[in-house]
Structure 1
Amino acid sequence: MNTERETVHLVDDPEINAFLNDIEHCPHAYVLGCLMDCQMKSEKAFSIPWIVKDLVGTFSIDSLAEFTERYYQDLFLSNNLHRFSNDKAKVFFAAVQQIARQYEGDASRIWTGNPSSAAVVYRFLQFKGCGIKIATMATNILARQFKVPLSDYYSLDISPDVHIDRVLKRAGLVNKGASREEIIYKAREMNPDFPGIIDFSCWEIGRQFCRPQNPLCEQCPIRSE
């Protein structure tokens, strides 16, 4: 791995986090983790590739591609891996097959070669079950935290969730009734070259300080602003 790059915090467990961070040797772990991140706690969703690895005893794309969709459905359901285990098992299976065939077993081909931000977002959108929120989030993390070089960053929008929505509204950057689209365009207005640059900061502030109940306003790092 690139020792100069800081470890990206995706889950609390150090061993699982190191596994997800190894995008040089096991890039599909990160991709599959992103595809699982829906309608459940993010840390639990990102842990699913690690749990699958433990359950099946392998994690090479060639080996994973040998299992059927029914096998993954049984695996997910019997181990209660996801809130929507049946659907996400299908997403997991389809993604493994796509990486094996379209990317010749190397998921890093999604982002290598200095592509445009739009190209990477589009490639994520081609995965079954991946909407614009996950596609922009996955690309944003690659660019902002994994330091993957892209030719531009202006297609990397903010990915509004409950934390980001709450922070921007409480900070007065958008109106209290602002829609998801208004939040996205406010971020574009604030930083046109890289709208998503504030995504992770707002998300962390929302989780740690700007809580739904009893927010820690006195400790908030943006209080002075």
Structure 2
Amino acid sequence: MTPSLPIDPDADALLRRSPLALLVGMVLDQQVPLEKAFSSPYVLSQRLGHEPTARELAEYDPVALTEIFATPPALHRFPKAMADRVQQVCRQLVERYDGDAAGLWAGVRTGKELLDRVAALPGFGKQKAQIFVALLGKQFGVQPTGWREAAGAYGEEGAYRSVADITDADSLTRVRAYKQEMKAAAKAGGGR
């Protein structure tokens, strides 16, 4: 399957070729529409005038990076917090994987190992880590033994639960419907 999100074609192309852009998109996929989160790495590269490296972002002046994130239209609803989070993730990539975002999943033998590596990133709780493992497995061919189990329900074949399942406008609609059902169920369950 060729991954393709229903976003700007240039932003989508960047996600397909740049592991760092994909990871930054996942970092930003929180409290904003996923189209915003996953197109922001492209907007960031446009504002910088080039595709940044993890080392560059890790070492970037925090105040200047926050300004880049906050410039209208802001890259995220919480530009300061997310500029900081992206820097934290990039620093970890530099420290543990020599600045190579693909090093996060390169050479992993099991889904559990992959999940553990992703979950160790700043801001990646269990659910976000499972979604990223599912995204890597379903759309990018990163499929160590047991990856579906490690991804939990997000790894199920034929599911429409997260960005891992979005390849076109129809699948986006199905994921949104699933999320609305879950919200409604949670709301109904909370009223009991």
Query: When the two structures are superposed, what TM-score results if normalisation uses the length of structure 2?
Result: 0.77
TM-aligned CA distance change 1:122 to 1:93, over 3 Å: same
**CA, structure 1 residues 208+78, in 2 after alignment: closer, same or farther (shift >3 Å)?**
closer
CA, structure 1 residues 85+208, in 2 after alignment: closer, same or farther (shift >3 Å)? Answer: closer
Q: For 1:209 and 1:77, how far apart are their aligned partners in 2? A: 31
| Partner in structure 1 of residue 96 of structure 2 | 102
Which residue of 2 is the match for residue 10 of structure 1? 5
User: Are the equivalent residues in 1 in contact too, given 2:160–2:175 (CA < 8 A)?
Assistant: no
List gaps (5 residues or longer) in structure 2. Answer: 166-170, 182-192
- Which consecutive unaligned segments of at least 5 residues does structure 1 have? 1-5, 160-194, 214-225
CA contact (8 A) 2:118 2:129 kept: yes
Question: Do the aligned residues in 2 keep the contact of 1:111 with 1:120 (CA within 8 Å)?
Answer: yes
8 Å contact 1:76–1:82 — kept in the other structure?
Answer: yes
Alignment partner of 1:72: what SS? Answer: helix
Larger RCO, structures 1/2 (Cα 8 Å, 6+ apart): 2
Q: Which has the larger share of helix?
A: 2
* Aligned twin of 2:168: none
The structure with more radius of gyration = 1
Which residue does 1:199 correspond to in 2? Answer: 159
* Cα deviation 1:101-125 (Å, max 9, x = unaligned): 2110111111121421111111112
Q: In the alignment, residue 40 of structure 2 is paired with which amino acid? A: I
Alignment of 1:61-76 (within 5 A): 61-76=54-69
| Cα offset, 1:210, TM superposition | 6.8
Rate the CA distance shift 1:56–1:208 in 2: closer, same or farther, 3 A.
closer
2:117 alignment counterpart: 123
* CA displacement at 1:9 relative to structure 2: 1.9
**Identity over aligned pairs, percent:** 25
Equivalent position to 2:47, from 51, 55, 80: 55
Q: Aligned partners of 2:179 and 2:143: how far apart in 1?
A: 34
> Contact between 1:114 and 1:149, CA under 8 Å: does it hold in 2?
no
- RMSD of aligned Cα (Å): 2.5
Q: Does 1:112 pair with 2:125? A: no
CA positional deviation for 1:201 = 6.7
Partner SS state of residue 85, structure 2: helix
Supply the distance in 2 between the matched residues of 1:36 and 1:201 (Cα, whole angstroms): 18
Checking the alignment, whether the CA contact within 8 Å between 1:68 and 1:93 is kept in structure 2 is: no
Shift of 1:78: 2.7
